[in-house]
């Protein structure tokens, strides 16, 4: 039931084809719009079951994620594991746990995120966990878009691997073909 992650994303209309500007500044013909999946609790539940099962025997005490998608995922994985869930918010160049969140010293923390591209937001959560003296016991994402996931210093799990096709703006064939560039997010409007 939970095995075909790509089918869930396809069913939710979350695998967008076109010409997208990624956060990294690179261009890509494919964009995984996780919020088209996360808007359906049933899909979110199925995907989070894969993560919860993978770390079921690791005595997870806290599940932590970055805003915004990570809030939903941390909450659902924590619900399934019967533990606490917290989220880290952007503050300047880093992320911090606000909202009065506190955890036990050396609490066993599972870090979750939606789509892994550069690993930047996961690293920021690792930094935030470190600041409140948590111990990261694993990192899990829905979609790993890297060719080789970075070493986070803890076991890594992805529900699905889908390596990114990316182009630098100068060498982008979609730019050359004159296709409008779209910055995924709130509006889906062409960048220029």
Q: How many CB atoms lie within 10 A of CB 95?
A: 26
* Residue of 15, 96, 162, 175 that binds Zn ion (CB under 5 A): 175
* Residue of 9, 27, 50, 95 that binds Zn ion (CB under 5 A): 27
**21 near Zn ion, rule: CB under 5 A:** no
Q: Are 141 and 114 in contact (CB under 8 A)?
A: yes
Cβ 173 to Zn ion shortest distance, Å? 8
| Closest to Zn ion by CB, 16 or 174 | 174
Span interacting with Zn ion, options 45-53, 55-63, 142-150, 172-180, rule CB under 5 A: 172-180
Q: 42-68 b/e with 16+ CB inside 10 Å = b? A: ebbebbbbbbbebbeeeebbbbbbbee
Cβ 18 to Zn ion shortest distance, Å? 10
- Between 65 and 104, how does the x/- string for binding to Zn ion read (CB under 5 A)? ----------------------------------------
Cβ 184 to Zn ion shortest distance, Å? 13
* Those residues with Cβ within 8 angstroms of residue 171's Cβ, 6 or more apart along the chain or in another chain: none
Q: How many CA atoms lie within 13 A of 78 on its CB side?
A: 21
Cβ 17 to Zn ion shortest distance, Å? 14
Span interacting with Zn ion, options 21-29, 87-95, 105-113, 135-143, rule CB under 5 A: 21-29
User: How far, in Å, CA of 21 to CA of 27, rounded?
Assistant: 5
Strand partners, 28: 20
Pairing relationship of beta strands 94-97 and 84-91 according to DSSP bridges: antiparallel
Span interacting with Zn ion, options 40-48, 54-62, 70-78, 164-172, rule CB under 5 A: 164-172
* Total of chain residues touching Zn ion, rule CB under 5 A: 4
Name the residue whose CB lies closest to Zn ion.
Answer: 172
Pairing relationship of beta strands 108-116 and 62-66 according to DSSP bridges: parallel
- Contacting residues toward Zn ion, per CB under 5 A: 27, 172, 174-175
């Amino acid at each position: 039931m939970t095995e075909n992650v790509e089918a869930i994303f396809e069913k939710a209309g979350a695998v967008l084809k076109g010409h997208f500007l990624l956060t990294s500044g690179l261009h890509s013909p494919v964009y995984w719009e996780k919020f088209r999946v996360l808007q359906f609790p049933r899909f979110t539940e199925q995907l989070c079951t894969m993560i919860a099962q993978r770390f079921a025997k690791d005595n997870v005490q806290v599940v932590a994620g970055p805003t915004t998608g990570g809030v939903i995922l941390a909450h659902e994985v924590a619900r399934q594991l019967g533990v606490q869930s917290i989220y880290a918010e952007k503050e300047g160049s880093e992320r911090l746990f606000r909202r009065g969140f506190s955890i036990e010293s050396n609490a066993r923390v599972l870090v979750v995120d939606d789509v892994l591209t550069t690993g930047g937001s996961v690293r920021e959560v690792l930094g935030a966990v470190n600041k409140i003296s948590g111990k990261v016991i694993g990192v899990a994402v829905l979609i790993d878009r890297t060719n080789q996931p970075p070493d986070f210093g803890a076991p890594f799990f992805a529900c699905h691997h889908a390596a990114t096709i990316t182009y630098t703006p100068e060498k982008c064939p979609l730019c050359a073909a004159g296709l409008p560039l779209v910055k995924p997010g709130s509006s889906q409007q062409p960048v220029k």
